[in-house]
Amino acid sequence: MTPQKTDCIPEQFKFEQVKSCPVVVNFKAETVTSDAGLTLIAELDRKRGITSRLARCFKDYRNMNRVDHSVKSLIGQRIYGLIMGYEDLNDHEELRHDPMFALALGKIVGKKKELPVLAGKSTLNRIEHCPENVSSRADSRYHRIEHNAEAIETLLVEIFLESYSSPPRQITIDLDVTDDLVHGHQEEVLFNPYYHGYCYAPLCFYFSIFRFICLLFIFKDSDNT
């Protein structure tokens, strides 16, 4: 977001006259945004329908007569924020007033000073986090939106396959190691030359287990045949 004006910023700059035309620069713009590139992201999303398709993986038990922000709008706001580098939900206390985010989400921005207000951090948190003890979203007071995990996983695979003219015959999974440096002789410790030290490598560890299980199934199928 554009920083607020302080006393150290001059009201106006005056430059030397050029071809009898005065050049004046001031800081009186009422609405300024630093996220204009979001319009391209929103246009791409509208063509691919990613957020709209993802919204269909959720079920909304809220009273529609009292809803200001649809599931599609909440998902789009959160994803657009992540794309623009706003990872924290607290950032949306300011972003909810940003006209560029309102335009990206299809909100009507008129000439009046009252711009549409998007969802705040608390509303976004209800769709992003739900306690495990809430078994029925329809009966919950606060968390009334549930997601279909299998549908989301299927959608991610579909979007990946759609990026190819034909489904790939082979997929290479490249996992970057996450280092957790240790200072001692703990078990399952590996030396990582990139980080120049001994550390835990959970991704490598779990991927090794995954490969081992796959090999077991391969050998089992070969024995049956």
Question: Are both 143 and 209 inside the same structural domain?
Answer: no
Query: Phi/psi zone of residue 204: left (φ > 0), alpha (ψ -120 to 50 degrees), beta?
Result: alpha
CA angle, 48 then 54 then 58, to 5°: 160
Decide if 168 is inside a domain. Answer: no
CA quadruple 22, 23, 28, 32: dihedral sign: positive
CA distance 39 to 41: 5
Question: Are both 51 and 148 inside the same structural domain?
Answer: yes
CA distance 175 to 160: 17
CA distance 144 to 58: 10
Question: Are both 151 and 196 inside the same structural domain?
Answer: no
Tokens in use for 4?
A: 């607020």
**Does pLDDT of 209 surpass 80?**
no
Q: Amino acid identity of 124? A: L
CA distance 94 to 128: 19
Decide if 8 is inside a domain. Answer: no
Question: Are both 130 and 198 inside the same structural domain?
Answer: no
Question: Are both 185 and 117 inside the same structural domain?
Answer: no
Decide if 80 is inside a domain. Answer: yes
Question: Are both 85 and 111 inside the same structural domain?
Answer: yes
Question: Are both 68 and 111 inside the same structural domain?
Answer: yes
Picking from 56, 73, 83, the residue whose alpha carbon sits closest to that of residue 119 is 73
Question: Are both 192 and 158 inside the same structural domain?
Answer: no
Question: Are both 53 and 105 inside the same structural domain?
Answer: yes
Decide if 137 is inside a domain. Answer: yes
Chain segment 47-89, per-residue pLDDT in tens: 989 999 999 999 888 888 888 899 999 999 999 999 998 988 8
Question: Are both 193 and 150 inside the same structural domain?
Answer: no
How many Cα atoms occupy the beta-carbon half-sphere of 94 within 13 Å?
Answer: 12
Question: Are both 208 and 105 inside the same structural domain?
Answer: no
Total structural domains within the chain: 2
CA distance 92 to 123: 10
List the domain range (segments joined by +) for residue 98.
38-162
Decide if 30 is inside a domain. Answer: no
Q: Is 100 strand, coil or helix?
A: helix
Picking from 157, 207, 155, 153, the residue whose alpha carbon sits closest to that of residue 178 is 207
Task: Identify whether the C-beta of residue 117 lies closer than 8 Å to the C-beta of residue 93.
Answer: no
Chain segment 135-177, per-residue pLDDT in tens: 777 777 778 888 888 899 899 888 888 888 888 888 787 766 6
Decide if 202 is inside a domain. Answer: yes
Decide if 128 is inside a domain. Answer: yes
Confidence of residue 180 (pLDDT cuts 50, 70, 90): confident
Question: Which is higher by pLDDT, 132 or 74?
Answer: 74
Decide if 219 is inside a domain. Answer: yes
Question: Are both 140 and 95 inside the same structural domain?
Answer: yes
Tokens in use for 44?
A: 């791409």
